[in-house]
Amino acid sequence: MGKQKKTRKYATMKHMLKLRDQRLKEKDRLKPTKKEKDPSALKEREYSMVYMCHIFLIPSIIVGHLGWFQGFAVVNSAAINIRVHASL
pLDDT in tens, 24-55: 777 777 776 777 776 666 566 666 666 766 66
* Phi (first) and psi of residue 5, to 5 degrees: -65, -40
**pLDDT value for 48:** 67
Contact indicator for 87, 45 with CB cutoff of 8 Å: no
pLDDT at 88 over 60: no
